[in-house]
Copies of this chain bind each other. A is one copy, B any other.
Amino acid sequence: MTYCIGLYLDEGLVMLSDSRTNAGVDYVSTFRKMFVWEKPGERVIGLMASGNLSVAQGVVNLLNEGIDFSEEEPQETLMSVASMFKAAQLVGRAVRQIYESDGEAMEAQGTPFNVSIILGGQIVGRRMRLFEIYSAGNFIEASEDTPFLQIGEHKYGKPILDRAATYRTGLVDAIKLSLISMDSTIRSNISVGLPLDLLVYRKDSLVVELNRRIEADDLYFIDVAQRWSMALRKAYQALPDPPFAKRKE
């Protein structure tokens, strides 16, 4: 499995992905699920993929090599599209192309065609956007009301986002929130694991603010995970006792 989070905020975007891939429990490996396209001053685009690894990698290859929007137009890549909406359409088109070439054969082998993609970024003169693209190539967009998107094993890490993530959350707090959400998932589900890839984009800057790999020995991540566990234990113990229950004498 996989867990990826994208936060769409007034200050910018935070995108965080794990890197564990498994085919059964006896073939576990590390694959990058975060991809970044940048031309400073012109565009920053981040993409995270969950689902079948061959589909995800195929989509990324097509996005780099170029896809026909129509017979009249020249081929487009994520480095050439004029807007984030066009970028999301291009990703959807890439998903459909992989489905056309591989979908039937995969399903004949009992392998479901299955991919989810989070795509975020900004292109000069246009506004910053964050999308989720589905296996059918259709997509939705994050908004101020629902400022985060998740793909993969999303349930363990959702309660903290539901409670604390808003459009007004600052970038630094959002990094902390995404790391906590990821840590909750890693602890509860062995199919999600380090290293992590973290992309931070500040709105209207048109350059990558941070593109960092967080390894298993990252002292900050270890510290955050420990402090968070301790804080949770303290917080629940500090809750008042139920008036209807009594402690052992």
**Contacting pair B156 A236 (CB below 8 A):** no
Known contacts A159-B159, A159-B187; A239/B212 CB under 8 A: no
Known contacts A159-B184, A164-B236, A188-B155; A172/B245 CB under 8 A: yes
**Contacting pair A223 B235 (CB below 8 A):** no
Q: Nearest CB to that of A11 among chain B residues?
A: B248
Per-residue B-contact encoding for A220-233, CB less than 8 Å = 1, 0 else = 10011001110111
List A206-249 residues whose CB lies under 8 Å from chain B: 209-210, 212, 220, 223-224, 227-229, 231-233, 235-248
Residues of chain B within 8 A of A177, CB atoms compared: 236
Known contacts A188-B162, A247-B170; A235/B242 CB under 8 A: no
Known contacts A159-B187, A232-B160; A239/B210 CB under 8 A: no
**Contacting pair A236 B159 (CB below 8 A):** no
Q: Is A180 an interface residue (CB 8 A)?
A: yes
Q: Is A48 an interface residue (CB 8 A)?
A: no
Known contacts A156-B158, A187-B162; A172/B233 CB under 8 A: no
Known contacts A155-B156, A162-B187; A176/B236 CB under 8 A: yes
A157 to B233 alpha-carbon distance, docked (Å): 14
Interfacial residues, chain A to chain B (CB-CB below 8 A): 11, 155-160, 162-164, 170-173, 175-177, 179-180, 184-185, 187-188, 200, 202, 209-210, 212, 220, 223-224, 227-229, 231-233, 235-248
What are 19 sample pairs from A and B whose C-beta atoms fall under 8 A apart?
A: A156-B159, A159-B187, A160-B232, A163-B229, A163-B232, A164-B232, A171-B245, A171-B248, A172-B245, A176-B236, A200-B245, A209-B245, A224-B239, A227-B239, A227-B240, A228-B239, A231-B238, A232-B232, A235-B235
